[in-house]
Structure 1
Amino acid sequence: MAREKKHRSRGRRSPLAAAALIGAGLLLTGGAYAGATAAIASTSDTQTSAQAELTVDDGQKLFTANCATCHGLDMQGTPEGPSLIGVGELSVEFQLATGRMPLQMQGPQAPQKSPQFTEEQIHAMAAYVHSVAPGPEYPQDWVTAGEANPEDASDEVSISHGAELFRINCAMCHNVAAAGGALTEGKYAPALTSTSALHIYAAMVTGPQNMPVFGDMNLSTEDKRDIIAALIFQQQEVQVGGFTLGSLGPVSEGLFIWIFGIGALVALTVWITAKSN
């Protein structure tokens, strides 16, 4: 009897072959993705390096494209925006870095939001505006760092003095805990619980929106330094008194007692009455 030959089926493949094929596909896809990511990162680094070299001329181009519509090509202002003559680099940096400018929409007050420009672009525009319309400049490092004036041997940083000055000059709007507060006509004083030292100084010097300008006749540079040191200390201080309730004082505390305290007493009274009946 003739022996039958066994033929291997050509239509089937080993499961290992399928797994190997999938693995090879994943490796190729991963390699392509890694290469593309590296190329994009390299391009981004190159762009960042180029942005770090922005000049006053670059600032002028950015200003013309983004700011001149409201403030005018000559910075004299238009019906849509005020003049920038004399605002200086410090005001420009403050408005752009806090996202208040460019203005999103007309309203009682420009809200703080994420900045539209990079730090290098902001500095370039600030340098351009300052070159055309000089004004308040960036402070010396010791002011925002909360350090003593190196030119005055008798100068000392005083957080307690800064807190006292803040209560006298700022707390009526910003709240004694720097939590902010409401003003008239839909305006408000923003919270200072996360504001940087530079922007605290800029607000005191340039007086944005409803903020008054505190010149050297009102507060010396050392006084401003002490206020900044007090606010930064308050930002970093750990709250040990339980719930802050927004740091709004008697308003939030009274509301909490009225709702939860009296509410609990009423509920207890109802429960006792129901049990007795």
Structure 2
Amino acid sequence: MHIKNTKKLRKSGRRHPLATVALIAFGLFTTGLAYTGFTQTSASAEVDMNSPAAISEGQKLFAANCATCHGLNAEGSPDGPSLIGVGAASVHFQVGTGRMPLAYQGPQGMIKPVQFTEEQILQMSAYVASLAPGPEIPKAQYLRADGDAARGSELFRINCAMCHNVAAAGGALTQGKYAPKLTGVDSSHIYEAMITGPQNMPVFSDANLTPQDKADIITYLKYLENEPKVGGLGLGSLGPVAEGLFIWVIGLGAIVALTVWVTAKSN
């Protein structure tokens, strides 16, 4: 029957009813891929952080995009703190995650699509780093996620889980702030957050957590990303609250619906 209807549609020159839906879905998929490719930064960019040319380009980018809030010489203003001494790592984290430039003043910077290429981000980082000593961009040896995941898990539970959740799913804080989820985050940004303490996060210096400790935590977080959910639906890994809500809304709702259906059938 379906074959006959398809033949009739072809003979009449009409499109199949699902053709429009398929065309729209294809267009959305293609647009999404193009947007991702356009906004994604290049992780392979190499910039000499001490190069006068890189620092000069970074200063131009800073003046055009950051000076309105942070001051022309990064000295700060009523709308933004001073960046003298924050180091390259802070700039690379804030701009590389899309938090900066800010979309609006709020409890904390929101994660947005990144507005600059990796090369431009490194150039701005080089400029800010040239103003005063500060935390540097981490070395690649600590970002490979080949450390001790078990030890990283222990360190994460002790130092990070109270805000970010033991499964790194994030959580709410006070006054409209929140700890973001850490799955799917670039290793360099995780390391930089630990050494710069963005927003509500404390700074974990090498005296608190050694570079290898930080590498082990990154290894644990990357393990969480690849670990299969053997228990079924993860429900956001938010713990018993989400699980209890699911049981009450979905479980009891299904029981009530079944009861109503059985009663209607008996009548």
Q: Give TM-score, length-normalised by structure 2.
A: 0.77
State the shift of 1:270 in Å.
3.8
**Deviations 1:21-61 (CA, angstroms, capped at 9, x unpaired):** xxxxxxxxxxxxxxxxxxxxxxxxxxx9xx97762111111
Alignment size in residue pairs: 219
Deviations 1:180-214 (CA, angstroms, capped at 9, x unpaired): 11111111111111101100000000000111111
Q: Corresponding residue for 1:213?
A: 203
Counterpart among 159, 181, 196 of residue 169 in structure 1: 159
> Greater RCO between the two (CA within 8 Å, min separation 6)?
2
**Structure-2 change in CA distance of 1:91 and 1:269 (3 Å):** same
User: 2:100 matched to which residue of 1?
Assistant: 101
Alpha-carbon offset, residue 217 of structure 1: 2.3
Matching of residue 126 in structure 1 with residue 104 in structure 2: no
Pairing 1:80–2:70 present: no
1:146 is aligned to 2:136? no
Aligned residue type for 1:99: G
Deviations 1:144-197 (A, max 9, x none): 1134xxxxxxxxx31011011111111111111111111111111111111011
- Residues 126, 269 of structure 1: CA spacing in aligned structure 2 closer, same or farther, 3 A cutoff? same
Q: Is the 8 A contact 1:143 1:225 kept in 2?
A: yes
Partner of 1:110: 109
Q: Structure 1 199/275 Cα, relative in aligned 2: closer, same or farther at 3 Å?
A: same
CA–CA separation in structure 2 for the residues paired with 1:83 and 1:98: 20
**TM superposition shift of 1:73:** 2.0
SS, match of residue 129 in structure 1: helix
The answer to whether the Cα contact below 8 Å between 1:201 and 1:228 also exists between their aligned partners in 2 is: yes
Work out whether 1:188 is the aligned partner of 2:178: yes
Q: Which residue of 1 is the match for residue 6 of structure 2?
A: none
Counterpart CA distance in 1 for 2:154 and 2:143 is 18
Structure 1 unaligned residues grouped into runs of 5+: 1-47, 148-156
Pick the structure with greater CA Rg: 1
In structure 2, the gaps of 5 or more residues are 1-41, 48-52
Percent identity, please.
Answer: 64
Supply the RMSD in Å over aligned alpha carbons.
2.0
Q: After the TM superposition, which residues 247-258 of structure 1 pair with which residues of structure 2 at under 5 Å, given as runs?
A: 247-258=237-248
The answer on whether the counterparts of 1:84 and 1:133 sit within 8 Å (CA) in structure 2 is no
